Structure 1
Amino acid sequence: MFSRTALIVAAASAGVSFLAYCIYFDRKRRSHPDFRKKLLERRRIAKGGSRSGINTEFPDPSNPDSFHQFFLQEIQKGEELLATGQMEEGVEHLCNAVAVCGQPQQLLGLLQQSIPPQIFNLILTRLPIVTQNMRSRTAPPSTVEIADDVE
């Protein structure tokens, strides 16, 4: 039906077309403004690092509604990530929720009953670091910093 040369030409043109398609979309992907940021984040996670290198934006401590919303959001994200097998990220979000919780001991007791012991131990080891980060980010500026800003 078709000659051998026609099949070879068709296969070669299909291969060249596919290669051109790949080059076009790779260039489009690399020119996206967030490409480098996303690439570095993926590499950090793949290397075994956690999302702890990312700055979590803690809510304003003077606004209880924002704290409550942040708490619920972090609990939901933590549960979703744990359900998908992303343990480090899920633990990070649950630690954020415990750090802003008004009654952390009760929340830790509930978590201890509802999640596996390995994950709960990760939360306990990670919690002091997250709490310290939250305190340093939500603490009011000292008078020395204010005096420096005035000058």
Structure 2
Amino acid sequence: MSSKRNAIIAGVCGAAFVAYCFYFDRKRRSDPHFKEKLRQCRRKKICSEKSGPAQLPDLTDRKAVQKYFLEEIQLGEELLLQGELDRGVDHLTSAIAVCSQPQQLLQVLQQTLPVPVFQKLLTKLPTISQQIISSRPLTEDGVE
């Protein structure tokens, strides 16, 4: 008897939740500014994605470099999964450029990435690495 009662209560709660979802969705869509808000949100998202790889961290700060590395790897993987190969490769290349052991990372990426994507990564790597080297501050005697 108790299990029957619990099943009925669960069913009523489930139906109430679904009804609330329909009500909320209808109210949201009937808002006169709904489409305008939706367009603004999409514009913000597109603008933030167009910015490309994040700004380089202070290369002398180990924690900042590590955080930047992890963020770039994660962003690169997500973009590759979404099918945005160029942007994903850009982020992975930035991560490789600040990595303390780039050869090991390249070996792992070679095993996990499809060949065309890995080739694209290798072609972009010198450009990104040169940008990072040129952004590093030099010491007084001109040697890093």
1:61 partner SS: coil
Report the alpha carbon displacement of residue 140 of structure 1 after superposing the two structures with TM.
Answer: 3.7
Give the number of equivalent residue pairs: 109
1:75 equivalent among 73, 76, 80: 73
Q: In 1, are the aligned partners of 2:72 and 2:94 still within 8 Å (CA)?
A: yes
Report the alpha carbon displacement of residue 62 of structure 1 after superposing the two structures with TM.
Answer: 1.1
Distance 1:100 1:55 in 2: 13
Partner of 2:57: 59
2:128 equivalent among 120, 127, 130: 130
**With structure 1 as the length reference, what TM-score do the two structures score?**
0.59
The percent identity for this pair of structures is 37
- Give a deviation string over 1:106-127, Cα, whole Å, max 9, x none: 1000000001000000000000
1:38 paired with 2:47, answer yes
Distance 2:91 2:61 in 1: 20
Write out the 4+ residue segments of structure 1 that deviate beyond 2 Å after TM superposition. Answer: 138-143
1:25 equivalent among 19, 33, 36: 36
Report the alpha carbon displacement of residue 136 of structure 1 after superposing the two structures with TM.
Answer: 1.6
Partner of 1:45: none
- Give a deviation string over 1:74-133, Cα, whole Å, max 9, x none: 110000000010100000000001000011011000000001000000000000000111
Q: In 1, are the aligned partners of 2:73 and 2:92 still within 8 Å (CA)?
A: yes
1:107 partner SS: helix
Compared CA separation, residues 83 and 91, structure 1 to 2 (3 A): same
Report the alpha carbon displacement of residue 38 of structure 1 after superposing the two structures with TM.
Answer: 2.9
Q: In 1, are the aligned partners of 2:53 and 2:90 still within 8 Å (CA)?
A: no
Distance 1:55 1:114 in 2: 21
Partner of 1:120: 118
Distance 1:55 1:89 in 2: 8
Report the alpha carbon displacement of residue 57 of structure 1 after superposing the two structures with TM.
Answer: 0.9
**Aligned-partner residue type, residue 84 of structure 2:** Q
1:85 equivalent among 83, 86, 103: 83
**Aligned-partner residue type, residue 124 of structure 1:** L
Contiguous gaps of at least 5 residues in structure 2: 1-31
Compared CA separation, residues 81 and 129, structure 1 to 2 (3 A): same
Contiguous gaps of at least 5 residues in structure 1: 1-20, 42-50, 144-151
